[in-house]
Structure 1
Amino acid sequence: MAAEHFDVVIVGGAAVGSSVAYHLAADPAFSGSILVLEKDPSYQRCASALSAASIRQQYSTAINVQISLYGIAFLRDIGGHLSVDGDAPAIGLHEGGYLFLATPEGKGALEAGHAIQERLGADIALLSPAQLHSEFPWLETSDLAAGCYGRSGEGWFDGYGLMQAFRRKARSLGVTYRADEAVGIERQGDRVTAVTIADGSRIACGAVVNAAGAGGPALARAAGIEIPVHNKKRMIFTFRCADPVARCPLVIDPTGVYWRPEGEGFLCGLAPPEAEDPDSFEFEVDHTFFDERIWPVLAARVPAFERIRPGRAWAGHYDMNAFDHNALVGPSPELANFHFANGFSGHGLQQSPAIGRGIAELIAHGRFVSLDLSPLRFSRMAENDPVRELKVV
Structure 2
Amino acid sequence: MKQGSPLAAKGQVNMGQQHFDVVIAGGAAVGSAAAYFLTRDSAFSGRVAVMEPDPSYQHCATALSAASIRHQFSTAENIRMSLFGTEFLRHFGETMSVEGSRPDPEFHEGGYLLLATPDGMPTLHENQALQRSLGADIALLDAAQLAARFPWMQVDDLAGGALGMSGEGWLDAYGMLQGMRHKAIAQGAIYMPRRVVGIDHQRGHVSSVRLDDGQTVGCGALVNCAGTGAPALARLVGIDLPVQARKRSVFYVQCPQPLPGCPMVFDPTGAYFRPEGTGFIMGIAPPEDQDPESFDFDVQYSLFEEILWPTLAARVPAFEALRSGRSWAGHYDMNLVDHNVIVGLHPAIDNLFFANGFSGHGMQQSPAVGRALSELIVHGAFKTLDLSRLGWRRILDNDPIIEKNVV
Could you tell me the TM-score, scaled by structure 2's length? 0.95
Question: What does 1:133-144 correspond to in 2, within 5 Å?
Answer: 133-144=147-158
Specify the alignment match of 2:284 in structure 1: 270
Structure 1: state its 5+ residue gaps. Answer: none
Q: 1:24 aligns with which of 12, 29, 38?
A: 38
Give 1:229's aligned residue.
243
Q: Offset of 1:140 from its aligned partner?
A: 0.7
The structure 2 residue matched to 1:300, chosen from 300, 314, 317, is 314
Out of 338, 347, 356, the residue aligned to residue 352 of structure 2 is: 338
Note the aligned Cα RMSD (angstroms). 0.9
2:195 matched to which residue of 1? 181
Residue 220 of structure 1 corresponds to which residue in structure 2?
Answer: 234
Correspondence list, 1:147-166, <5 A: 147-166=161-180
Distance, in Å, in 1 between the alignment partners of 2:389 and 2:150 is 37
1:98 aligns with 2:124: no
Query: SS of the counterpart of 2:389?
Result: helix
Q: Which of residues 87, 90, 94 is equivalent to 1:76?
A: 90
- 1:235-274 alignment runs, 5 A limit: 235-274=249-288
Q: Confirm or deny that 1:37 pairs with 2:51.
A: yes
**Cα distance in 1, alignment partners of residues 253 and 345 from structure 2:** 43
Using the TM superposition, give the Cα deviation of residue 365 of structure 1 relative to its aligned residue in structure 2, in angstroms: 0.6
- 2:181 is aligned with what amino acid? R
The SS at the match of 2:257 is coil
Alignment map for 1:188-207 (pairs within 5 Å): 188-207=202-221
- CA deviations on 1:16-37 (whole Å, 9 max, x unpaired) are 0000000000000110000000
Q: Which residue of 2 aligns with 1:51?
A: 65
Summarize deviations over 1:79-109 as a string: whole Å, max 9, x none.
2321111211111100000000000111111
CA distance in 1, matches of 2:87, 2:316: 32
Runs of 4+ in 1 over 3 A off after TM superposition: none
Distance 2:119 2:381 in 1: 41
| Secondary structure of the corresponding residue to residue 324 of structure 2 | strand
Counterpart-to-counterpart distance in 1, 2:395 and 2:240: 11
Which residue of structure 1 lines up, in the alignment, with residue 395 of structure 2?
Answer: 381
Give the Cα separation in 2 of the matches to 1:83 and 1:329: 28
Q: Residues of 1 paired with 2:401 and 2:24: CA distance? A: 26
Instruction: Give the aligned length.
Output: 393
- 1:9 corresponds, among 18, 23, 41, to 23
- Once residues 400 and 91 of structure 2 are traced to their aligned partners in structure 1, the CA distance between those partners, rounded to angstroms, is 32
Deviation track 1:306-353 (CA, whole Å, cap 9, x = no partner) reads 111111100000000001001110110111110001110000000000
Q: Quick one: distance in 1 between partners of 2:262 and 2:328? A: 22
Q: Secondary structure at the match of 1:272?
A: coil
For structure 2, the 5+ residue unaligned runs are: 1-14
Tell which deviates more after alignment, 121-130 or 103-112. Answer: 103-112
Shift of 1:286: 2.2
CA distance in 1, matches of 2:112, 2:300: 26
Q: Among the aligned pairs, what percent are the same residue? A: 56
Distance in 2 between residues matched to 1:166 and 1:32, nearest whole Å: 19
Specify which of 319, 322, 331 is matched with residue 317 of structure 1: 331
